[in-house]
Amino acid sequence: MIQAIIKNNTFMSYHHNSNKNSTISKMNKYWYIDTMKLEIGLKKTPWYINIFNWLTIKRFSVRELYIFIYNHFHSEENIVSLMPIPFPIDHDNIKKPKGVPFNYVMQNDWKITDNALRKLIKGPLISEHGYILLVKTDSQKEIVFRIISKIIVWLSIPGALYGSWQVIKLIMEK
């Protein structure tokens, strides 16, 4: 039985967390679903957004992708028109201990573009027939490394700007 709760004036089932709307909004900004090609991928973004995302090492979790797809297929405006189209990702709906991830599996010939796969973390996401691990489960070591990488990138920007300014001054003096 689905138990519903009211939180911040929104109706939620036990499946959903309170930041579902922000996840969907974020994913709508960056991702697309092409039901004609059976393809999921990243939208084209301006170069300056790409640079910012590179600097911040922007990634999306497989769970966020699943929430985005589920919402797209089950929203009031799409549910009737998308009913005949097969759903792209399935997951094992087995209650697991804390820290053990759901296994997400591609299905029904859907594909995720290569550039989009590189932006996904916190799998596992497995190919349709289970032959290929598309997105692996992140270890604690990988999560810490990603955080340290972000810090190093942001700390190195001022030094790079200062060094570039010094080179420009030398060129201008000649």
Beta-carbon contacts of residue 132 (< 8 Å; ≥ 6 apart): 126
Per-residue model confidence as pLDDT tens digits over 92-146: 877 777 777 788 999 999 999 999 999 999 889 999 988 888 998 887 788 788 7
Among 71-75, 105-109, 161-165, the minimum mean pLDDT is found in 161-165
Q: Has residue 69 got a pLDDT over 80?
A: yes
Report the candidate in 130, 134, 111 with the shortest Cα–Cα distance to residue 121. Answer: 134
Among 43-52, 112-121, 164-173, the minimum mean pLDDT is found in 164-173
Q: pLDDT band for 33, please (50, 70, 90 cuts).
A: very high
Per-residue pLDDT at 110? 95
Per-residue pLDDT at 17? 55
Q: Residue 108 — left, alpha, or beta (φ > 0 → left; ψ -120 to 50 → alpha)?
A: left
Could you please report the per-residue DSSP string of 90-140? EE------TTPPPPEEE-TT-EE-HHHHTTEES--EE-TTSS-EEEPPPPH
Domain ranges in the chain are 19-138, 141-174
Whole-prediction pTM value? Answer: 0.72
Per-residue pLDDT at 161? 78
d(CA 26, CA 29): 5
